[in-house]
Structure 1
Amino acid sequence: MASLLHPQLQLSRQYGRVFSVFNSQIHTGSGLAAKDHYKVLVLGGGSGGIAMAARLKRKVGAENVAIVEPSEMHYYQPIWTLVGAGAKSVASSGRSTSSVIPSGVTWVKSKVAEFDPEKNTVHTDCGKKISYDYLIVALGLELHYEKIKGLPEGFEHPKIGSNYSLKTVEKTWDALKSFKEGNALFTFPNTPVKCAGAPQKIMYLSDAFLRKTGKRSKANIIFNTSLPVLFGVKKYADALWEIVKKRDLNVNLRHNLIEVRADKQEALFENLDKPGETEVFKYEMLHVTPPMGPPAVLKGSLLDDAGGWLDVNKNTLQHKTYDNVFGIGDCTNLPTSKTAAAVAAQSAVLDRTVSRILKKQTPDKAYDGYTSCPLVTSYNTVILAEFDYDGQPLETFPVVDQSKESRVMYHMKADVMPHLYWHGLLKGIWGGPGPYRTMMHLGMK
């Protein structure tokens, strides 16, 4: 193969750390110029994309794998809950994309512009057409602050932040620090979201901070959620309702944020159970969880479902129409919560699925919908929710009541899980706690 390469490219391979070859905005970990065809093409350089590239390069060779990703930086977003509460720095959440791309895998630094699964090709925004044998779609989801009237321009004002965006997460901490008295308001939108526990985690942390600083007696803490429940799994919802009552937090169900009047410090909500009825809430602090949706490039393509999400088999993660297309993570229509923990479990299943298909065999491992949500309830406690497709608890630790607040689980969230992310999931060697759960339950789960 090497003898067929241009001499300059052979030199680049030999001295990959010295020379860089750029071709149509394409970079590679090993210094090789880009090809127009790859055995495995991965779309998206988030957690799912990097994890699958790391896994599949071991099966087909790094030179046969490419990742399409425009961003220069990669962020561990679950830690932004703690950044917004002043417990972690935003700098600790990010690393350069080049440092997390698996070595030898080609990095196509572009956006996906169009799918053509009939011809096994993808077009990028820089005019590149790349063909593939197998396609992994890991494009995440998109935030839509603009669907709330008054945003995103409202973030130019003080007292308002959002832990879901790099640009606004530190504004949450600024708003919390400057809080004096009045309403501290937290929202949950009327769309699917990633990390569905995060909108209320910052409420519990804010409550803890205001108690610690002696301001809690002057604060009215409100959680306005579009959902009909506080949390989707009853076992954990019951535990959270107890915390809400004990800490005098106010929860309004079926309230959806539709407008922010940041100059007046007002937020307008619609009552989803009473169409046409709205209510204005004044705020001294506002945390916004934005509406979210599938990547625009997926919507209307041959790969999406009726809602615009990647249409995959919920057991194998294989596309329902195109056998050589697979999905992982937030961009899919898998009926489970969109979390990094779900991506980890999915990566192990998808690895097995693709491995079998590469050998012309039938997939034999099913994803059970496992996901996890460490519900941070203070600066040193967490309720570790783990559950499956059916919303049934699927817990790892049999001797612990995971619906109870735990200091140990907090340290797992704050310290252990980031390490597992950077050095396990992104390296393709952490596929969730499934094997450990089986051992701890003596093979019965």
Structure 2
Amino acid sequence: MSSHHQILVIGGGTAGIMVASQLIKQKHAKDVAVIEPSETHYYQPAWTLVGAGTYDYDKTARPMSSVMPKEAKWIKDRATGFDPENSIVHTASSGDISYDYLVVVPGLAYDFSLVPGLGEAMDKGVVCSNYTDPRHTWEVIKNFKGGTALFTQPTTPIKCGGAPQKIMYLAESYFRKSGVRKKTDVVFATGGTVIFGVKEIARTLMKVVDRKDINLRFFHKLVAVDADKKIAWYELGKDITAGGCVVMAGEDDDENLDESFQYNYKDVKVTVEGERYGIHYDMLHTAPPSVAPKFIKNSKLVNDAGWLDVNHQTMQHNKYPNIFGLGDVAALPTAKTGAAIRKQVPIVVDNIDKLIKTQTLGSKAYNGYSSCPLVTDYGKMVLAEFDYNNNFTPDPKLKQMLVFDSSKEHWRLWMLKKYGLPYLYWNKMMKGQDV
């Protein structure tokens, strides 16, 4: 069994549907097929709001058939491997499919083996993740009675780098409403060195951290989770100065704490075992460790780090010129967000369009644009927009919304997040319109 398509797209997520829709609109693509096994398409950016009890989970899901472009052939199957020399994709049950052009956009996968114990703990009891089950997150936040609320993330690339802290800001607000805030320590432990990589945004977020009295712990690499003892285990990516008082429990000597390591220190319960440093939690929210899907990782298409090896400007594969990749699976040094995809898609579509017509690439280049809508409170949001060099690059269209500085908290940005963006997503982006 084998079939052929002019353009084959692997993945029916944000990137796959947008690429297929825009290619069909361009009119030069005569035959577009999409390989996607799932019956449901999710608008994941709203899962942050679901986890905070302010968005209906069911509204984030629509049948895949409703977003799949009518002119595209939907191959309801899984891709299992590649023969790029012969322009062939292997599938689970539809045989080999050959193509003139291939767009690889399957998104990413979760590999819980990278943090032992997390897989067993995930989405049960007081361990939650907006990435996997935001409804459980809301149950955990709603039922929290005080203690240490630990928000953390693995050191792998993740979808939307800001998501692990957005839910923390919303949870902190909810704890005030539910009356448990005064007996709660909110801790954010990250492998990173700063709250956010864009200076203008970091400045605002540090004010939010101060206002909400949150303890930031940097250089914390999550290595294991013990669900029975409720301990998140870390390795510390920095030599601890100041006589070890940053690490050891029960030290009163706050004066010596190194702020680049511990900001707004809280004396929560910790256990030290050898090189490992365990924070005891009463609730834990994390992003799952993320990798490229197995059939990508085990293919010839990836770089040494295991992500799809594409040109950072054109998104053309570095070895196979008739293959393109974008979105979460691509080895692009920017944040993995739907906003990034929104800017990547037109460039890939233009390149394929020009290749079909003239056998040469288009002249458009992707500058690494991504954006992270950082919800900082119920009714408040900051919009971090940036490029490969972490330059703050706000969209001029925001002025029409009367938002003159999107690095500051604004209720209009919250309205954009909760109402504007989901509307644009389903009604414009999914239909191949440029927004």
TM bin (shorter chain): 0.7 to 0.9
Match of 2:394 in 1: 395
Aligned-pair CA distance for 1:63: 6.4
Q: For 1:269-315, what per-residue CA distance to the aligned partner results, in whole angstroms no more than 9, with x for missing partners?
A: 22122596222222221102111111211224222111111111111
Cα 1:156–1:336 change in 2 (3 A) is closer
2: CA distance, partners of 1:122 / 1:428: 25
Identical amino acids, percent of aligned pairs: 44
Partner of 2:57: 90
Distance in 2, Cα, partners of 1:157 & 1:320: 42
Aligned equivalent of 2:347, options 346, 349, 366 = 349
Question: Following TM superposition, by how much is the alpha carbon of 1:334 offset from its aligned partner in structure 2, in angstroms?
Answer: 1.2
Q: What is the aligned partner in structure 2 of residue 331 from structure 1? A: 329
Counterpart contact for 1:111–1:124, Cα < 8 Å: yes
Comparing 244-253 with 294-303, which one deviates more in the overlay?
294-303
Aligned to 1:306: 304
The answer (yes or no) to whether the contact 1:62–1:104 under 8 Å persists in 2 is no
Counterpart amino acid of residue 42 in structure 1? V
Paired letter, 1:194: K
Which residue type is aligned with residue 205 of structure 1? Answer: L
Tell me by how many angstroms 1:369 deviates: 1.0
1:184-214 deviation per Cα after TM superposition (whole angstroms, max 9, x unaligned): 0101211111100000001100011111222
> Which range is displaced more, 295-304 or 307-316?
295-304
Measured against aligned partners, the alpha-carbon deviations of 1:162-194 in whole angstroms (never above 9, x if no partner) come to: 0011xx221111110111110001012111111
Match of 1:404 in 2: 408
SS, match of residue 42 in structure 1: strand
- 1:373-424 per-residue CA deviation (whole Å, 9 max, x = no partner) reads 1100011000011111110011013661211100000010111001111111
The 3 A distance-change label for structure 1 pair 141 and 274 is farther
| Separation in 2, partners of 1:196, 1:84 | 16
Moved more, 352-361 or 246-255: 352-361
Larger relative contact order (Cα-Cα within 8 Å, sequence gap ≥ 6): 2
Equivalent of 2:206 in 241, 263, 266: 241
Structure 2 letter corresponding to 1:278: R
Corresponding position of 1:363: 362
Runs of 4+ in 1 over 3 A off after TM superposition: 59-63
**In the alignment, structure 1 residue 267 sits paired with structure 2 residue 266:** no
Q: Name the residue aligned to 2:377.
A: 378
Q: What's the secondary structure of 1:298's corresponding residue?
A: helix
SS in 2 for 1:409: helix
* Offset from partner CA, 1:294-344 (integer Å, 9 cap, x none): 121122422211111111111111111211111110110111110000001
Q: Deviations over 1:13-35 (max 9, x none)?
A: xxxxxxxxxxx9xxxxxxxxxx7
Quick one: which amino acid aligns to residue 394 of structure 1? T
Residues 282, 241 of structure 1: CA spacing in aligned structure 2 closer, same or farther, 3 A cutoff?
Answer: same
Query: In the alignment, what sits opposite 1:196?
Result: 161
2:140 partner amino acid: A
Stretches of structure 2 lacking an aligned partner (at least 5 in a row)? 241-273
Q: Report whether the alignment pairs 1:213 with 2:217.
A: no
Sort the Cα spacing of 1:286 and 1:40 in 2 relative to 1 into closer, same or farther, 3 A.
same
Counterparts of 2:64 and 2:123 in 1: how far apart (Å)?
A: 29
Partner of 1:54: 21
Match of 1:31 in 2: none
**Structure 1 segments unaligned to the other structure (5+ residues):** 1-23, 25-34, 433-445
1:121 aligned to 2:88? Answer: yes
Cα pair 1:102 1:427 within 8 Å, conserved: yes
Q: 2:68 matched to 1:101?
A: yes
**For the residues of structure 2 that align with 1:305 and 1:237, how far apart are their CA atoms?**
31
1:295 is aligned, of 293, 296, 303, to 293
Distance, in Å, in 2 between the alignment partners of 1:99 and 1:427 is 10
Q: Can you list the C-alpha shifts for 1:217-248, whole angstroms capped at 9, x where unaligned?
A: 11100000011111111111111111111211
Normalized against structure 2, the TM-score is what? Answer: 0.88
Retained in 2: the 8 A contact 1:63–1:104?
no
Cα distance in 2 for residues equivalent to 1:425 and 1:156 = 31
The one-letter code sitting in structure 2 at the alignment partner of 1:88 is Y
TM-score, normalised to structure 1, is: 0.86
> Is residue 180 of structure 2 the alignment partner of residue 176 of structure 1?
no
AA at the equivalent of 1:200:
Q
Deviations 1:137-185 (A, max 9, x none): 11111112332222322136411110011xx221111110111110001
For 2:235, what is the secondary structure of its paired residue? strand
Moved more, 334-343 or 250-259: 250-259
Question: Is the contact between residue 220 and residue 235 of structure 2 (CA under 8 Å) also seen in structure 1?
Answer: yes
Kindly indicate whether the alpha-carbon contact (under 8 Å) linking 2:145 and 2:180 is maintained by their aligned counterparts in 1.
Answer: yes
User: For residue 28 of structure 1, what is the aligned residue in structure 2?
Assistant: none
Structure-2 residue corresponding to 1:425: 429
Deviation track 1:103-125 (CA, whole Å, cap 9, x = no partner) reads 03111111111111110110001
User: How do 1:311-322 and structure 2 match up within 5 A?
Assistant: 311-322=309-320
Which of 220, 235, 238 is residue 255 of structure 1 equivalent to? 220
Aligned positions of 1:148-163 closer than 5 A: 148-155=115-122, 157-163=124-130
Moved more, 108-117 or 266-275: 266-275
Q: 8 Å contact 1:195–1:337 — kept in the other structure? A: yes
- Provide the secondary structure at the position in 1 that maps to 2:172: helix
Question: Which shifted more, 309-318 or 58-67?
Answer: 58-67
SS at structure 2 position matched to 1:152: helix
Residues in 2 aligned to 1:114 and 1:318: alpha-carbon distance in whole angstroms: 19
